[in-house]
């Protein structure tokens, strides 16, 4: 598991922020910008993370970002982040359609989360239409490319108040 490259910035001062949100990126999202750019765009994961941190800072919210390709790594990170965050924005990527474990980890935190996707999953292959998170997420945003993350974070922050 790697923290997104944008995490190389100096650590955030916790007392300066009223809230903390975790942004969780699933498998293959470390390849954004180069993997199928006609589908996923040319924006890189570090660029997305930087935008989310800037958006959070404007609202007094610290943003933690993590990306992992392994399901177990994601589950462990979610479990560990649960006590210190107020909510999650998650792009589970391919695990959307397969992972009961990620669903259970998010539910175990008791924190609200928004599911985001770069593409409109309903305009893709039928196997991508099912989400194990959809019925327990406070919202879903998809189809707007990297902007899906911004919209998801904004929605979550509005929900948190």
Give yes or no: 117 in active site.
yes
> CATH number of the domain that 70 lies in?
3.40.50.9100
Catalytic residue among 25, 117, 132, 149: 117
Flag whether pLDDT at 4 surpasses 90.
no
Give yes or no: 25 in active site.
no
Count: domains in the chain: 1
- pLDDT tens digits, 92-113: 999 998 899 999 999 999 999 9
How far apart CA 61 and CA 21 sit, in angstroms, is: 7
Tokens of 52: 């989310």
Contact (Cβ atoms closer than 8 angstroms) between residue 120 and residue 142 = yes
Q: Provide the strand spans (E) within the chain.
A: 19-25, 61-67, 87-91, 113-117, 139-142
Catalytic residue among 40, 95, 132, 149: 40
How far apart CA 39 and CA 80 sit, in angstroms, is: 32
Pairing of strands 19-25, 61-67: parallel
Beta bridge partners of 64: 22
Query: For all residues of the chain together, what is the average pLDDT?
Result: 89
Most confident of 26-40, 53-67, 125-139: 53-67
Tokens of 86: 């107020």
> By residue range, what is the domain housing residue 71?
5-9+18-160
């Amino acid at each position: 598991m790697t923290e997104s490259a944008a995490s190389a910035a100096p650590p955030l001062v916790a007392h300066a922020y009223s809230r903390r949100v975790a942004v969780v990126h699933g498998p293959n999202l470390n390849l954004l910008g180069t993997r199928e750019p006609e589908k996923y765009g040319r924006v890189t994961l570090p660029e997305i993370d930087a935008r989310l941190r800037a958006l959070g800072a404007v609202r007094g919210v610290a943003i933690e970002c993590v990306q992992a390709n392994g399901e177990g790594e994601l589950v462990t990170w979610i479990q560990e982040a649960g006590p210190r965050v107020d909510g999650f924005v998650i792009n589970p990527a391919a695990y959307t359609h397969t992972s009961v474990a990620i669903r259970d980890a998010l539910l175990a935190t008791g924190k609200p989360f928004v599911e985001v996707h770069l593409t409109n999953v309903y305009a893709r292959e039928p196997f991508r239409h099912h989400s194990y998170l959809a019925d327990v997420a406070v919202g879903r945003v998809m189809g707007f490319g990297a902007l899906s993350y911004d919209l998801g974070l904004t929605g979550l922050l509005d929900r948190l108040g």
